Amino acid sequence: MQKGVFLGLSTADIVYYVPHYLQRNQKLKAERQLAYAGGPAANSAVTFASFGNEASLITGLGQHPLADLAKADLAAHKVRLIDSTDQPRRPPILSAIMVDLSNGERSVVYSNTDLRKLRRDCVNETTLEYADLLMLDGFYLPQAMQLAAMAKPKRIPVILDGGSWKEGLESLLPLVDYAICSAAFYPPGCTTPDSVFAYMRGHGIEHMAVTRDGDPILAQTGGRLCEVPVMPVKVMDTLGAGDIFHGAFCHYILENDFLLSLERAGEVASLSCASLGTRAWIEQEKFI
């Protein structure tokens, strides 16, 4: 069993599966509805734990009744929650998600994350005790910086989920060992994957990848640029696939090289798209 520490965003998600996107001023009955914890760090932690690993999640949910939805889901998937919001009585970040069943694409509306903060005492010298890796999603940057700086002398690998560029992220990059970014991740002045790779190299990152949905993953390691194939599947739901990819990568990178870990994580993410929601794949497939 490996131990991973995940720090970042968690939300309470309500997902509606509809036959098609709504038109203007239209009411539409959902074919199905699901509710669980969401957010990149939370979904990655659940994925990591699904391999039989120990996942600790540092995030902010609070004591509002709506937070119980996310907390119950995390507990059911054996994720150790370290709830550190500095405003515990506020509702958690809520997301309303609509998935188009005709093509698996999704739209997300969520409440503001900019003013959400964690308590200053949520990170200390024991947080990474016995940890095998640290995964960050770019949220809660002060604590992310603190933990990444603590990980370096301990030789604990730091993985960055680069979903989108966030202000101040350039200060974190020199502490990152593996950066896995989405196609929407563009640092200042970057417009292409090549320019993203160049920017990341300039901050000392040697292992980088850009995921592109169903297209091959672009990866650079040891100064070599290559493509990692993505397993084709019949897509039902792409929700959370990137988060699941990162959680699976965290599992595989502890025992495999960078490129093989990307390939195996891509297989898990692809299979997750073949079922509805971000949890069904765990019940349907067992990954060892």
Would you kindly state where each structural domain of the chain is located, as residue ranges? 40-90+121-284
pLDDT value, residue 286 = 53
Q: 141 or 284: which carries more pLDDT confidence? A: 141
In percent, how much of the chain has pLDDT > 90?
Answer: 80
In this prediction, residues 137-162 reach a mean pLDDT of: 96
| pLDDT(287) > 50 | no
* 288 pLDDT higher than 80: no
The two tokens of residue 224 are 């070599």
Give the mean pLDDT of 153-169. 95
Give the angle subtended at the CA of 160 by the CAs of 71 and 59, to the nearest 5°. 25
pLDDT at 115 over 80: no
Interior/surface letters 221-241, b for 16+ CB within 10 angstroms, e for the rest: beeeeeebebeebeebbbbbb
Using the predicted structure, report yes or no on whether residue 163 has a pLDDT greater than 60. yes
Mean pLDDT of the chain: 92
Average pLDDT over residues 214-234: 91
Question: Given 3.30.70.20, 3.40.1190.20, 3.40.50.720, 3.40.50.880, which CATH number is that of 40-90+121-284?
Answer: 3.40.1190.20
Q: Which pLDDT score, from 0 to 100, does residue 285 have?
A: 57
The percent of residues above 70 in pLDDT, for the chain, comes to 98
Residue 113 clears pLDDT 80, i.e. is over it:
no
pTM: 0.93
Residue 211 has pLDDT above 90, yes or no: yes
Answer whether residue 282 shows pLDDT above 70.
Answer: yes
Distance CA 149, CA 195 (A): 26
DSSP 171: G
Q: How far apart are CA 201 and CA 199, in angstroms?
A: 5
E strand intervals along the chain: 3-7, 11-18, 32-38, 54-59, 79-83, 94-100, 106-110, 133-136, 158-162, 178-182, 207-212, 215-221, 224-228
